[in-house]
Amino acid sequence: MGAEITITGGNFEQEVLESPIPVLIDFWASWCGPCKMIIPIIDQLADEYEGRIKIGKVNVDEENELAARHSIASIPCLVLYKDGVIIDQKNGAAPKREIELMFKDIV
């Protein structure tokens, strides 16, 4: 397991909106095949960019209110926050390089 954190409705403001570094959130579910495909990539990125970007995971089944607030219609969905504002979003499974391009220029 990588250095990612679990994001919930209870810690969202502190971990995401008030974060001094960019935050990449992976909206996922345990039953989602494509979500499982990118787990190793997310883990690897969390380790490689630790301290420069925070990577969090939101289980949409457990945090449906948070998912609804982000209008998550399909998973996996990656949402990138910087300074408390969404700056990028990507739906579906993607290769490591494509995910990394979401934040590489800002970390």
Q: Which residues are catalytic?
A: 32, 35
Q: What's the rounded Cα separation, in Å, for the pair 41 and 13?
A: 25
Q: Which residue matches tokens 């579910």? A: 29
